[in-house]
C-alpha cells in the first residue's frame, strides 16, 4: 500500500484512509480482552500461545 502522508489530509480524509486499512479482528480478540481485564484466567502455556499469535490489531501501511 505504501506510505501515507497524514499531515496533508483533513480529518475526514484521514478517517477514511484509516478505516480502509484496519485489519480484521483476530478470532481470539475477546478472550485476550477478558484476560487483560482479569475476567478470564488461562494456563501459562495457553497465554504463551496467544502471545505468539499474529498481531492483527494494527492498521496496515
Residue-wise pLDDT for 4-44, tens only, equals: 666 677 889 888 988 888 888 888 888 889 999 999 999 99
pLDDT at res. 43: 95
pLDDT in tens, 43-61: 999 988 888 876 666 666 6
pTM over 0.85: no
Backbone phi and psi for residue 9, each to the nearest 5 degrees, phi listed first: -110, 145
Please report the pLDDT score of residue 14 as a whole number. Answer: 86
Contacts of 21 (CB under 8 A, 6+ apart): 1, 59, 60, 61
The angle at the Cα of 45, spanning 53 to 32, to the nearest 5 degrees, equals 50
Which residue would you say has higher pLDDT here, 3 or 27?
27
Amino acid at each position: 500500500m505504501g506510505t501515507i502522508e497524514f499531515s496533508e489530509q483533513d480529518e475526514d480524509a484521514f478517517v477514511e484512509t484509516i478505516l480502509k486499512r484496519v485489519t480484521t479482528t483476530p478470532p481470539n480478540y475477546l478472550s485476550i480482552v477478558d484476560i487483560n481485564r482479569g475476567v478470564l484466567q488461562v494456563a501459562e502455556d495457553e497465554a504463551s500461545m496467544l502471545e505468539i499469535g499474529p498481531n492483527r490489531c494494527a492498521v496496515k501501511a
